[in-house]
């Protein structure tokens, strides 16, 4: 899961910098390790500030699971994103864009 072609909505592509996108993709790759744990097709990604570090929280509902990742960043991004894998594409979007 989440190793398909990446699609982003215009809202995401216009507001997320390349470094943050790389950090999100690294965190998702760790979260969705093939064969280790069941990964849902729908992930919630919450980005926030944690003591001047970029915090990325990835969670899913089925099975319930949550992990936290921290990265150094000059510009802290604080938003919620959805990441949906339909088997052919992985789409990153804001909840209001659904």
Among 3.40.225.10, 3.10.450.150, 2.40.110.10, 3.20.20.70, name the CATH number for the domain at 5-97.
Answer: 3.10.450.150
Backbone angles phi, psi at 62, to 5 degrees: -140, 105
CA atoms of 50 and 79, how far apart (whole Å): 13
Domain ranges of the chain: 5-97
Q: Which residue has the tokens 């919630």?
A: 44
- Other C-beta atoms lying within 10 Å of the C-beta of residue 49: 12
Tens digits of residue pLDDT in 17-50: 999 999 999 999 999 987 767 899 999 999 999 9
Per the confidence metrics, is the pTM higher than 0.75?
Answer: yes
């Amino acid at each position: 899961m989440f190793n398909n072609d990446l699609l982003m909505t215009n809202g995401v592509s216009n507001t997320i910098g390349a470094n943050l996108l790389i950090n999100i993709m690294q965190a998702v790759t760790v979260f969705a390790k093939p064969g280790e744990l069941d990964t849902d097709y729908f992930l919630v990604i919450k980005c926030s500030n944690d003591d001047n570090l970029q915090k990325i929280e990835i969670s899913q509902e089925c099975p319930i699971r949550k992990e936290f990742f921290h990265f150094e960043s000059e510009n802290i991004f604080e938003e919620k994103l959805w990441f949906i894998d339909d088997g052919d594409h992985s789409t990153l979007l804001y909840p209001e864009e659904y």
